[in-house]
Amino acid sequence: MDVPMHALRYFCVLADELHFGRAAALLSISAPSLSQQISRLERTVGVRLFDRNPRRVALTDAGAELLPLARRVRDDHDAVLRWAAAQRDERGPLLRIGMVAAGAGPLTTAILTSAVQRMPDVRIEMRRLGFFDVREALNEGRVDVAIAPAPIEIDDRIVARPLYSEPRVLVVPSSHRLADRDAIDIREVSDEVFVIASGGAPAIIDWWLVDPRPDGSHPRRGPVADDFEGLLELVAAGVGVNIASAAAAQHYRREGVSFVRIRDIEPATILLVSAARPANAAVATFTSIAKELAASLAQRTIAVG
């Protein structure tokens, strides 16, 4: 069982405020998003932590037992972050780059190569992020900048800059009836079961699933996974199909799975996401490098086209 640090922080703030609106404002998230996070935490630990109705929010006995433990973990985590910050200050500047799924595909390598050459005094760390972890990772200081496909959840502390767009692909077992096609239309998968990412805002899940479809129908939803590797395992096992950005075809190439371009749906936009006012000076240089290389990629694509 994995209890995310941000979930414990949300729990502590709600336990202090006992009001979803006030707690959400302090956390710079929406009240529905906070409610989702608390419900997910309750499912993870297996007990109800709050009694809530339209008039009041109160800790349950289990919630009251968890609160001092959660506060201790939160405070210890903050102490570790302060210690790590002190170590970085002694060893030179550090840039922590988060990447969701395939990130910017081959462009990621070009960006990193250029960053290493143009920022020789900066140490670079790559950190894998879950589908819906970007906002929390930035706000909690776990990463300085992230590369992720849109749409994502942001708030007024975060800025998301489009880098480039790429087609979306259908991820299917290699034995699937569509696996050998070069491209398909979305109407051709109306009878398929779709495996989906867990824990995201409904609007984001709907966008990836193309729900509703152009004809007004809704896709059939099946098993869920909390990372792309898990989605691939489910697809390879034949329990459903998935929709991903085209970079996944190169970044996650594996036996038993095929990627087929979907030609008639909106492409995926890859974003560079950072704090609106980054504390790390290296973020500005990295952003400039990423935008420069993305523009060069776009020009080459236009020239080839």
120: CB partners within 8 A, 6+ apart = none
Q: How confident is the model at residue 7 (pLDDT cuts 50, 70, 90)?
A: confident
pLDDT value of residue 305? 43
CB contact burial 216-230 (16+ within 10 A = b; e otherwise): eeebeeebbbbbbee
Distance (Å, whole) CA 132 – CA 269: 16
Mean pLDDT of 37-60: 90
Instruction: Tell me the pLDDT band of 303, cut-offs 50, 70 and 90.
Output: very low
Tokens of 202: 């409904």
Q: Record the pTM.
A: 0.68
Q: Which CATH architecture has domain 168-266?
A: 3-Layer(aba) Sandwich (3.40)
The answer to whether 148 and 97 are in contact (CB under 8 A) is no
Looking at residue 183, its pLDDT comes to: 96
**Which one-letter DSSP state was computed for residue 23?**
H
Distance CA 138, CA 28 (A): 12
With 0-12 CB in 10 A as exposed, 13-18 as middle and 19+ as buried, what is 107?
A: buried
Confidence category of residue 32, pLDDT binned at 50, 70, 90: confident
Q: CATH fold of 5-85, please?
A: Arc Repressor Mutant, subunit A (1.10.10)
* Span 212-234, average pLDDT: 90
DSSP-derived secondary structure letter, 6: H
What residue has token string 């495996």? 195
| Domain ranges within the chain, ordered by starting residue | 5-85, 92-163+269-304, 168-266
What local confidence, expressed as pLDDT, does residue 218 receive?
Answer: 95
Residue 304 confidence (pLDDT): 36
Q: Would 92-163+269-304 and 168-266 be classified into the same CATH topology?
A: yes
Domain made up of 92-163+269-304: CATH architecture? 3-Layer(aba) Sandwich (3.40)
Which are the contacts of 223, defined by CB distance < 8 A and separation ≥ 6?
A: 195, 196, 234, 239, 240
Which tens digits make up the pLDDT trace of 88-137?
555 557 899 999 877 777 788 889 899 989 988 888 888 888 888 899 89
Of residues 170 and 296, which shows the higher confidence score?
Answer: 170
When pLDDT is averaged across residues 202-219 and rounded to a whole number, the result is 93
Q: Is 135 buried (19+), middle (13-18) or exposed (0-12) by CB count in 10 A?
A: buried
Query: Is the pLDDT confidence value at 301 over 80?
Result: no
